[in-house]
Amino acid sequence: MKRIVQALVLTGALVLAAAAHAVSPVATIRGDVALSSLSTDGGGAPAGFDVHVAFSTDPPGAPPFTIQKAVIFFPDRAGTNGTLFRSCSARQIERFHGAIRRCPKGSQIGRGTLRAQALQLGVTATGRVTLFNGAHGRSVTFNIRTTNPADINESIDAPLQKLRGSRYGEKLTLVVPHSLQEILTGVYVGLEDFDVTIDGAVTVDGVTHSYLRARACPRRPLHAVFDLEDWTTGEAATATADTTVRCRDR
């Protein structure tokens, strides 16, 4: 009996020690909107929306997790003017062999950067992100471009869905393909920083329309849910983030 008790105590101690050393992903998000005065007929100068996402770990200093999916919930119900814009989908860019300059003029709606670690190589790389209006204005197409430590030029269609009966107006779902999670055999990516600005505008019948319809500062927070994987164990993890969108006049 004494040995059984000792075994149970030892097992409990090992479980507690493992829990004490468990690493969890941490995500933070920041949103900044630049609003301009819009005319009464729905047009106006472009409004910019900056979204910055950063990833870390708890406790700090551990290798970052590999992201598999991001779902961003946008406040209010302003929506977009995507139906007024030309589009460029991931399939089109694939047909262009990754040459995004061949996308129709007026289809680009934003740009940005990302920073990530090629974990097994110990290399930190930066990449370029270009955003396009997706087909029929129902999605956002992300083109990811980087050359180190691997030559990557990949595009992803992220659907936009209107929400009803929710505190949020729309959500964007970005599913990360495995080729951007494991860029070389056995080399996984840990995303550290993702920073984009949406500022597209189009002129129709002499009136300029921004991609975003926002006319006022959102009343609700920006919310995000990230599905990730611990590449060291293969275990799934989730991180959530909220922020109050900050507004300024342009």
Instruction: Give the pLDDT confidence of 164-175 residue by residue, as tens digits.
Output: 878 888 999 999
Does residue 114 belong to any structural domain of this protein? yes
Say yes or no to pLDDT of 250 above 80.
no
Does any domain span residue 17? Answer: no
Q: Which among 88, 89, 31, 30 has a CA at the least distance from the CA of 214?
A: 31
Question: What's the predicted TM-score (pTM) here?
Answer: 0.86
Asked, for residue 16, whether it belongs to a domain, the answer is no
- Tokens 């008790």 correspond to 5
- Whether 4 is in a domain gets the answer no
Under the banding of pLDDT at 50, 70 and 90, the label for residue 46 is low
Give the separation between CA 210 and CA 177, rounded to whole angstroms. Answer: 30
209 inside domain:
yes
End-to-end CA distance of the chain: 75
6 in any annotated domain: no
Domain of 144 in residue numbering reads as 23-249
Answer whether the bond into residue 104 is a cis peptide, omega within 30°: no
pLDDT above 60 (res 241): yes
Band (77; pLDDT cuts 50, 70, 90) = confident
CB 51 within 8 A of CB 33: no
Domain annotation covers residue 227: yes
Separation between Cα atoms, residue 44 and residue 50, nearest integer Å: 19
Percent of the chain whose predicted confidence (pLDDT) is above 70: 86
Total domains in the chain come to 1
Does the residue 13 lie in any domain?
Answer: no
